[in-house]
Structure 1
């Protein structure tokens, strides 16, 4: 997922760049000292998830600043429900999502390989594209962009599909089952993520391949979301699914909504294996905790961490350092998974994975430790009811 810094009426906030959202939405504002909202009225908005439509505020005429980009009359929605908060699962503060307004007004060049994004004025032209880029037509309908692709399924063969381009999804491929697109025989039930209207569940599987232009990704990760997830969306039209971040990150992409095009070039991530939650554990931040460490060869100087976690430190006599770090807990656990069978439970506080104290790592890095490869034995040290417990399990192929 792509997180960008935006000033809203003078307050610095972090937004997920989400090509699947039409109007900027703010949430998780409880820790903000102040945020001015202009021309406010009450509304109801729809979002993905199994819940009902969400009560929100609509605000007109706001000032947005992103780098040298200025918008003096930005419309936005504000969700006041404190339960809607993507920060714990991502491990960084997230205050909102923004999409169409930026893609509409600029040619957007996203370089997933170098973690950079550039905005070009359509009137003066976009970046110079070499012959390694392939340009495809996209349909921009109801403030969202769709691209034609082909999905290969073992039983049904090659199927043309229309897919939503969704930079706000960290998943790979979502498909909607119909008379042409059938769920493969090998699958498992899984938690797919969180939407504005609640948790999203479905069936996790893989497809033989997906073809986007002339690019082919074999054995691609896919999911069939429960259609209850879309109960607040009135019309999906002829959309067959979506392409999320785990597909899009494999390309450097130039989004050109003004000309109805995208240009793709595969990058160094193109051949990376697709990641599955083999262990069955979902993690999130849940407050903070102190950890104590002895400082070897202490010379009286403590280096300040430049990370966004673990950077509050207290030095005690005797070269002991107390660090205030995020508390990582088991948010969900898949029934029948290796971690579930080993005895791990929701609410367990993760202390270490394979002997590594996890407060030194980002939440995405911890997930990689837990799901390294098939046949790997994983040892997880947790705290439960003030007791330390060690669990061990072996990662298994989910499709055997």
Structure 2
């Protein structure tokens, strides 16, 4: 790797950058050729990839040629353009000669499903040049110059070795799907919203718990949607830290052939576990330092509605506002019964709309009559646009038995459906 494509900090020994946290993903501001964009910080990617091209006219991309990227989902690869000699800036860290891979397929856009604007993903380009501190509690990363970094001395911090293989970090952990403890090698994947992914391997005894599983949509990969089985593992242990009843996904084999580049890899550890610790990633010394944080004891929950939503554009909504009192005027008739108040006015504002894009057919929501393609316009008596996507998802992750009322639009007709959140692990009733 040429030193010319390295990030550097001129005067500071470290630099702190605040991030947005959505669906267990870290979203950082990244400036490319003078334009500030939002990128997911993803330890699972080797290249900086831009896929939301709303700013393409001002990015001044040059020296482009066709390239193919490989990733989860679909046929495992997607066409892109490789652009060289781009200027990147993150905080005070600058690189004047960085490659960027540009995907033009509009289907590869994480913004609708996250509910937060995202232009791309970046990983190794940052981690190779700094000791990267990730503080999930306070939602910031700090870039430390490796020559000035000193590990924490507190006993609360633990250190583990990692292996950097093809620019991606791997660690060893222990799992117990039921009772037997197994050591697994996992990709550290800050770009995954899930807790744990495992690649099914009957010879190694890595298979879903036969008494607790369901088929589901797992997420969006670079090459399309990924499906598989969701389940639980009894225990997940990392150094001295043990987590119980952890969510796990087993992706379909057609989605992981390309991903399983490291022959010893058994899966990935993602954001729903990583967020429970604060981290220092030290690629240069092949180690990580970490301690548990305030999120450590949060329960691992599933979407008990079976509904997956995404942003579906915006709509104008008429909202009432108060104007300054000096514009008020009152007029009374002889009976004092009429009062005209001009202090209330209205404005038109843009609000988000949401669309059902995945729906588990074994769910109560499906049984109630909801279908993929329905546009959500109301939830529990309130307009859907009053909620962020993350807030609606929190409702869907509620306790079994909670009643949910959804108002949707389908083919121009408004319909209302009611259902109870059910156990995601319930078995579908056999069809007659």
TM-score by length of 1: 0.92
**What pairs up with 1:134-153 in 2 under 5 angstroms?**
134-153=158-177
Name the SS for the 2:255 alignment partner: helix
* Distance 1:269-1:128 versus aligned 2 partners, 3 A rule: same
Aligned to 2:294: 268
Aligned to 2:207: 182
Moved over 6 A (4+): none
Q: Within 1, Cα distance between the matches of 2:75 and 2:54? A: 22
**What pairs up with 1:182-201 in 2 under 5 angstroms?**
182-185=207-210, 186-201=212-227
Identify unmatched segments of 5+ residues in structure 2. Answer: 1-24, 327-341, 427-432
Partner residue of 1:159 out of 182, 192, 199: 182
Identify unmatched segments of 5+ residues in structure 1. Answer: 302-315
Aligned to 2:83: 59
Q: Within 2, Cα distance between the matches of 1:324 and 1:220? A: 39
Shift of 1:52: 4.3
Q: Within 2, Cα distance between the matches of 1:218 and 1:263? A: 22
Partner residue of 2:109 out of 85, 98, 117: 85
Contact 2:323-2:344 within 8 A present in 1 as well: no
Contact 1:49-1:195 within 8 A present in 2 as well: yes
Name the SS for the 1:2 alignment partner: strand
Name the SS for the 2:59 alignment partner: coil
Aligned to 1:331: 357
Q: Within 2, Cα distance between the matches of 1:20 and 1:87? A: 19
Deviations 1:168-202 (A, max 9, x none): 00111000111121221110000000000000000
Aligned to 1:280: 306
**CA-based RMSD:** 1.8
Shift of 1:129: 4.5
Deviations 1:298-356 (A, max 9, x none): 5479xxxxxxxxxxxxxx99522322111111111111212111111112111222123
Partner residue of 1:371 out of 388, 397, 403: 397
Q: Which has the larger radius of gyration?
A: 2
Deviations 1:71-99 (A, max 9, x none): 01111211111221111001111111000
Aligned to 1:168: 191
Whether 2:368 is the aligned partner of 1:349: answer no
Q: Within 1, Cα distance between the matches of 2:109 and 2:282? A: 30
Q: Within 2, Cα distance between the matches of 1:390 and 1:32? A: 41
Aligned to 2:3: none
Report which stretch shifted further, 385-394 or 246-255: 385-394
Contact 2:323-2:343 within 8 A present in 1 as well: no
Name the SS for the 1:366 alignment partner: helix
Aligned to 1:113: 137
Count of residue pairs the alignment pairs up: 384
Name the SS for the 1:369 alignment partner: helix
Aligned to 2:10: none
Report which stretch shifted further, 14-23 or 272-281: 272-281
Contact 1:133-1:265 within 8 A present in 2 as well: yes
Contact 1:353-1:369 within 8 A present in 2 as well: no
Shift of 1:233: 4.3
Contact 1:278-1:396 within 8 A present in 2 as well: yes
**What pairs up with 1:7-22 in 2 under 5 angstroms?**
7-22=31-46
Aligned to 1:309: none
Q: Within 2, Cα distance between the matches of 1:29 and 1:2? A: 20
* Distance 1:96-1:193 versus aligned 2 partners, 3 A rule: same
Q: Within 1, Cα distance between the matches of 2:190 and 2:231? A: 21
Shift of 1:358: 2.4
Shift of 1:32: 4.1
Contact 2:409-2:415 within 8 A present in 1 as well: yes
TM-score by length of 2: 0.85
Aligned to 1:398: 424
Contact 2:233-2:247 within 8 A present in 1 as well: yes
* Distance 1:41-1:317 versus aligned 2 partners, 3 A rule: farther
